[in-house]
Amino acid sequence: METSMTDKKSENITKPASGWSRRDILKASSVGAIGAATPMFYTPNAWAAKTNSNYPVMGSEVVFGFNVPQTGAYADEGADELRAYKLAVEHLNNGGGMLETLKPSKLTGNGVLGKKVTYVTGDTQTNADASRTSARRMIERDKVIMVTGGSSSGIAIAQQYLCNELGVIFMCGLTHSNDTTGKDKQRYGFRHFFNAHMTGKALSPVLSKEYGKDRRTFHLTADYSWGHTQQESMQEFTEKEGWSTAGNILTPLKTTDFSQYLSQVLNSDADVLILNHYGANMVNSLTNAVNFGMRDMQKNGKNLEIVVPLYSRLMAKGAGSANIDGVLGTSGWNWALEDEGSKVFVKAFTDEYGFPPSQAAHTCYVQTLLYANACEMAGTFYPPEVIKALEDFQFTGAGNGPTLYRGEDHQCIKDILVMQGKSPSARTSDFDYLKIIDTVSAKTVDYDPAIFGGDLGPV
């Protein structure tokens, strides 16, 4: 099998999964409907011995499925995720990168459990139906033993439900919604990336210190699972700092011009605009706000401030350093970190592609290695045993300090970075858009997993 197989564009990506009615398809056709649509995949008694036809792995190769947004609002993140996945496969088969720093680890650079790692790819299109169809095709046609990917949380959750039904482990890519490891958590789903609750908890004290206690916010929020939980978390923790909330507008994911929403912000008494947007949405909404002159305005006798709770270098570059100068947010990782794991990953990625990796690339690379290492630790690809190896696994050497893959909800608990946009004059390279102004410890952002409900279900 070739190591760069791709799904054929001519295939019908909107073909419904078996058992879905036309009504179900229509309900799930938009990202905003994902919260209502995905529970239809839940099968209380699904477990790998009965449903995963891809175990045992036969032959000399094992196939991973990389399902990322190659088109749509999150395509930039998807492209970097795919680069990282390919690099992870190279290192699993031939050594290098974080195989040198991850501890504890049984990875040797000779494949996984004596088998060469190969892969297939898919395009989620940031669309629930397309992502599920692509993941199902990988499982049923390409016989993948594991699926990973996603940039939209709604898409990640949709795939997580499907993989749980089919008894295939889903190693979430970039997904930041509280729901992923909260009310929608699944036994076969694991997330390395942090969540919106952690962002609110880490960022709000910094905002209060920078901008004062007496502030009034207005939120523009991407209308799907991530945006909803990001807005709720930011409102919760900013109000705990003494701030108040003037309003919140839900914006469709496909929005490119945010002018009508920004006009409502200007007509309010808010003096802080919080953009719960990611990818191209954030680039466009921040650019629109700057063009409206909002960064030069005053409200209530204070400078009007803009906050981007979830930051990435790709977004900062897209918006431009003049626009993001001084803007605060959080990141799960940054290429400028000086720990050994980050340094070897950045070097390997830069040597391969000519530029440093994004946080999306980092989390996808680490997820691939963590899954492979869990197989080695379990001594098998049998999903229930791999799940046991991942649950409550504590590791170092992958960036962000000591990290716990918490067994109760399959959420990684790790350090979070508070970032600030750099001015054009402060940048030192074409990739230097953000600076780390605080590292918030895993202990500080930890929380009781019971607050979000949900049930992992049986193995």
- Across the chain, how many H-helices and E-strands are there? 16, 18
Alpha-carbon distance of 79 to 315, in angstroms, equals 13
Question: Quick one: pLDDT at residue 264?
Answer: 97
**What are the pLDDT digits (tens) for 88-128?**
999 999 999 999 999 999 999 999 999 999 999 999 888 88
| CB contact set of 261 (below 8 Å; sequence gap of 6+) | 220, 249, 251, 285
Question: Quick one: pLDDT at residue 52?
Answer: 65
Alpha-carbon distance of 91 to 222, in angstroms, equals 36
Question: Quick one: pLDDT at residue 126?
Answer: 81
Q: What is the DSSP letter of 57?
A: P
Handedness of CA 243, 248, 254, 259 (dihedral sign): negative
Question: Quick one: pLDDT at residue 150?
Answer: 80
Q: How far is CA 190 from CA 29, 324, 326, 387, in A?
A: 25, 32, 34, 9
Alpha-carbon distance of 226 to 235, in angstroms, equals 14
Strands 146-149, 169-172: pairing kind: parallel
Question: Quick one: pLDDT at residue 128?
Answer: 84
Tell me the H-state helices in 39-106. Answer: 48-51, 75-94
Task: For the chain, give percent helix, strand, coil, nearest 5.
Answer: 45, 20, 40
Question: Quick one: pLDDT at residue 365?
Answer: 98
Question: Quick one: pLDDT at residue 2?
Answer: 35
**Which residue type occupies 125?**
Q
Q: How far is CA 115 from CA 4, 264, 388, in A?
A: 17, 58, 21
Find out whether 342 and 335 touch, Cβ atoms under 8 Å: yes
Tell me the H-state helices in 122-224. Answer: 128-140, 153-166, 196-211
**What are the pLDDT digits (tens) for 234-287?**
999 999 999 999 999 999 989 999 999 999 999 999 999 999 999 889 999 999
Helix 280-291 and helix 259-266, axial crossing angle in degrees, nearest 10? 50
Regions of the chain where pLDDT drops below 50: 1-50
Query: Could you give phi then psi for residue 349, rounded to 5 degrees?
Result: -65, -45
Query: Could you give phi then psi for residue 190, rounded to 5 degrees?
Result: -135, 135
Closest C-alpha among 343, 286, 310 to residue 100: 343
What distance lies between CA 455 and its chain's CA centroid? 21
Question: Quick one: pLDDT at residue 40?
Answer: 34
Q: What is the DSSP letter of 103?
A: B
Question: Quick one: pLDDT at residue 33?
Answer: 35
* CB-side neighbour CA atoms (13 Å) of 311: 31
Closest C-alpha among 271, 268, 217 to residue 245: 217
Strands 298-299, 403-405: pairing kind: unpaired
Question: Quick one: pLDDT at residue 314?
Answer: 87
Q: What domains can you pick out in the chain, each with its CATH number?
A: 5-194+337-413 (3.40.50.2300), 197-331+417-445 (3.40.50.2300)
Closest C-alpha among 70, 67, 85 to residue 362: 85
Handedness of CA 383, 387, 389, 394 (dihedral sign): positive
Find out whether 71 and 152 touch, Cβ atoms under 8 Å: no
The model's pTM is 0.88
Alpha-carbon distance of 35 to 453, in angstroms, equals 15
| CB contact set of 79 (below 8 Å; sequence gap of 6+) | 68, 70
